[in-house]
Each structure stands twice: as C-alpha cells, then as structure tokens.
C-alpha cells in the first residue's frame, strides 16, 4: 500500500465535501446526495483494487 492512496482518498473526500456543501446551499439536495454517492463509489473501487492486489500478493507468496 502506498501513501499516495491515502492522499488520493483524502483529496476525493475534501472535493466531495465541498461540492456537497455548495450544492446543498444552492437548494440542489438530490444532486448533492448523488455527488456524495459517486465519491463513495470511487473510493470503494480504489479500496477494492488494493484488496485484490493484496490477495494476489498473498497467493503468490504462499504459492497457492
């Protein structure tokens, strides 16, 4: 795992939080919710890729 992954997740969180606040203040609550869900999906996909990489590494390590 790389430290860059943590920074990317934090940056996505900050951007999504700002967009959520801007859209909520503009009265577009549905779009704010969709932005939050999209950010969550992006971060979950990044984490799933890292978990898959971990399983691959363990599998090659133990010759399974």
Domain count, the chain: 1
The pair of structure tokens assigned to 27 is: 């009265």
Residues 5 and 44: beta-carbon distance below 8 Å: no
The pair of structure tokens assigned to 28 is: 């577009």
CA distance 43 to 23: 20
Which residue range is the domain that position 28 belongs to?
3-61
Per-residue pLDDT of the chain (64 residues; tens, 9 = 90+): 679 999 999 999 999 999 999 999 999 999 999 999 999 999 999 999 999 999 999 999 998 7
The answer to pTM > 0.85 is no
């Amino acid at each position: 795992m790389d430290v860059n992954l943590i920074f990317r997740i934090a940056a996505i969180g900050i951007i999504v939080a700002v967009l959520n606040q801007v859209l909520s203040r503009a009265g577009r609550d549905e779009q704010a919710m969709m932005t939050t869900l999209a950010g969550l999906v992006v971060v979950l996909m990044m984490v799933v890729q890292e978990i898959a990489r971990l399983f691959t590494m363990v599998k090659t390590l133990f010759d399974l």
